[in-house]
Amino acid sequence: MKPTVDHNNFRFSEDIQVRWTDLDPLAHVNNSIYIQYFEIARGRYMLQASPSWDWHKDMFLLANINCNYLQELKIGMPKTKCWVRTKEMGRKSFVLEYMITTDDKTVHTVGTSIQVMFDTKTKTTIEIPEWLRTELMRYEIDGSIALK
């Protein structure tokens, strides 16, 4: 399977340190660990892409997450990074796209997650706040977010 994402669509990347405990008996990163890499990068992405974000007030839930494994990832591979971008935005949810690379060129994994905005007091989904929509649109490359 060839990657379906383009490096040029991403502005944000987070360096990933592959730890010995991330490995399975075949000495490559265990499949479940990739989701943790996505989670680490997602948190840092949100802080950079949306400077107004307040994790104590503004909440989203993960409605879906997927990961396509393209090539094994091992400890000690150079420049391991997880790239993140906002791919789509709807009324109440947005899709983040991920790509894990080494040497900024070898794609090991691609994936997406769907975040649904959530009000913790009423325990209901809510529309994406306008400030968040604006910040994500400003941060990303012009025209790269599909609006649904």
pLDDT band at 7 (very low <50, low <70, confident <90, very high): confident
Contact of 146 with 87, CB cutoff 8 Å: yes
pLDDT band of residue 18 (cuts 50, 70, 90) is very high
Q: Domain locations in the chain?
A: 7-140
- Cβ burial of 63 (10 Å; 0-12, 13-18, 19+) is middle
Per-residue pLDDT tens digits for 50-107:
999 988 788 999 999 999 999 999 999 999 999 999 999 999 999 999 999 999 889 9
Residue 131 has pLDDT above 70, yes or no: yes
CATH of domain 7-140: 3.10.129.10
